[in-house]
Amino acid sequence: MIRETTLNAALLVLLLAVPLAALILDELFIITLATRAVIFAIAGIGLNLALGFGGLVSLGHAAFFGIGGYAMGILAYHAQTYTPLIEWHFVIDGTKSMPVIWLTATIASAIAALGIGALSLRTSGVYFIMITLAFGQMFYFFTISWPAYGGEDGLSIYVRNGFAGFNTMDPITFFAICYAMLLAVLWLVARLVRSSFGLALGAARQNEDRIQAVGQRPFTLYLAAFTISGAITGLAGALFADLNRFVSPTMFSWQTSGEIMVFVILGGVGRVYGPVAGAAMFILLEHVLGGLSEFWHIYLGAILLGIVLFARGGLIGLLAGREVADD
C-alpha cells in the first residue's frame, strides 16, 4: 500500500521535474515530449475507467480522442477564419478560449460515448471489442469523406488557443496547463473509484450476478462508466490537438485506440496511476527506441507481447510487486 502510493507520488514529481530540468537546459523538445506524455496519460486514465474498473474492453476510444480533437479544431478554425460556426435563427461563433473548447470537447465526446455505449453494451465480450472498434472506424471514414473541415488533410490552427491571459505558445506554460488538468483528472478518478458508483462498478466487473442480486442493473453502471470514460479521453483529444495545433482523421484511427490501450496496459490495468506510468514509458520507449532504429515499432511490439504473456500487473505492478491493486 505504502509502496504504491510512494511510487505514484514519485511518478508525478518526476513528470514535473523532467520538463523543468529541460527548461533550465533549454531542451524545448523534451518539454514537448513530457507534454505528450501528460496528455496521453489523461487519455489512458479515461480508457482505464471503462477498461480497468468496468472491465469493458473498448477498442474504439480513438472516437472520443478524435471528437475532442475536432471540437478544438472546428471551434478554433471558425475563430481564425472569422466565419460563424452556426448561422441560423441565431449565430454561434468559433472560439479560441481553452476552457470553452475543453467543455465542448468533454460534452461532445460524452454524448458520443453515451450513444456508442448504449448500442455496444447490448452485447459483451468479444462482440463489444469488435463493435467499439467498428464505431471508431466509422468516425475515421466519416472525417475523411467530409470535406468541410479538411477531409483527409486535416485542419491546421495557426495560434494555440488562449487560457486566462497566459502565453500558451510558451512550451512550459502549456505543459503546466496540461499537468494541472492531469492532476484534476487523477483526483476525479480517484474519487470516483472510492465512491458508491466505484464500488458498484467494480462489483459489476467482478460478478454480474452479484450486482443484480443487490438490485442494480450492470448495463446502467457500465453505460455511466463508459460515458465518463469517453468524456475524459475527449478532453485529452482537445489538449493533444492544441499541442500540435493540428487535427486530422489519424486521431480517429484504430491505431490510436490501440495505443491508448497500450498506455493503460504498460502501466497496469485498474490502477488509477497506471496510465501515467504507461504513457511516460511509451514516450520514453518511442524516444529511445526511435533513436535506435526507424523500425522501433518492432521492439515496442516485442516488449508489449512480453508484458502480456509474462508480466500482467504492468509497470506499477512490477515495481510494487503485486498483480492487482487493493482499494
Partner 1 sequence: MPLLLFIEQLLNGLQFGVMLFLMAAGLTLVFGVMGLINLAHGSLYMIGAFAAAATAAATGSFLLALMASLAVAAIAGVIVEMTVMRRLYDRDHLDQVLATFALILIFSEGTRWLFGSFPLYLDTPAWLKGSTQLPFGITYPKYRLAIILVGLAVAAGLFLMIARTRIGIQIRAGENDREMVGALGVNIARLYTLVFALGAALAGFAGALIGAIQSVQVGMGEPVLILAFVVIVIGGIGSIKGAFIGAILVGLTDTLGRSLLPLFFGVFMDTSSATTIGSSLASMSIYILMAAVLIFRPRGLFGAA
Partner 2 sequence: MTDAVLATKGITKSFGALTASKDISLDLRAGEIHALIGPNGAGKSTLIKQITGSLRPNSGNVIFGGTNVTTLSAAARARLGMGRTFQISALAMDYTVLQNVVLGALGQRGGVFRLFNRVMKDQELLTIADQALEQVGLSDVRNTRTSELSHGRRRQLEVAVALTLKPRAFLMDEPMAGLGTEGTAQMVALLDRLRVQAPILLIEHDMDAVFALADRISVLVYGQIIATGTAAEIRANPQVREAYLGEEALT
Sign, CA dihedral 128-134-138-139, equals: positive
Judged by CB under 8 A, the residue of 202, 267, 268, 317 near partner 2 is 202
Shortest Å, Cβ 304 to partner 1: 4
Shortest Å, Cβ 277 to partner 2: 21
Whose Cβ is closer to partner 2: residue 76's or residue 221's? 221
Choose the contact partner of 291 out of partner 1, partner 2, none; CB within 5 to 8 A by kind. Answer: none
Three-class HEC string of 122-164: CCCHHHHHHHHHHHHHHHHHHHHHCHHHCHHHCEECCCCCEEC
Binding of residue 298 to partner 1 (CB under 8 A): yes
**Rg of the chain over all Cα atoms, to the nearest angstrom:** 19
Output the CA–CA distances (angstroms, integers) from residue 152 to 79, 90, 99, 237, in the order listed.
21, 30, 27, 18
| Contact string (CB under 8 A) for partner 1, positions 223-262, x = contact | -------------------------------xx--x--xx
Tell me the C-alpha distance between 251 and 242, whole Å.
13
Whose Cβ is closer to partner 1: residue 5's or residue 293's? 293
Choose the contact partner of 126 out of partner 2, partner 1, none; CB within 5 to 8 A by kind. Answer: partner 1
Shortest Å, Cβ 164 to partner 1: 37
| Contact string (CB under 8 A) for partner 2, positions 177-196, x = contact | --------------xx-xxx
What residue ranges bind partner 2 (CB under 8 A)?
A: 191-192, 194-200, 202-203, 206-207, 209-217, 221, 224, 324, 326-327
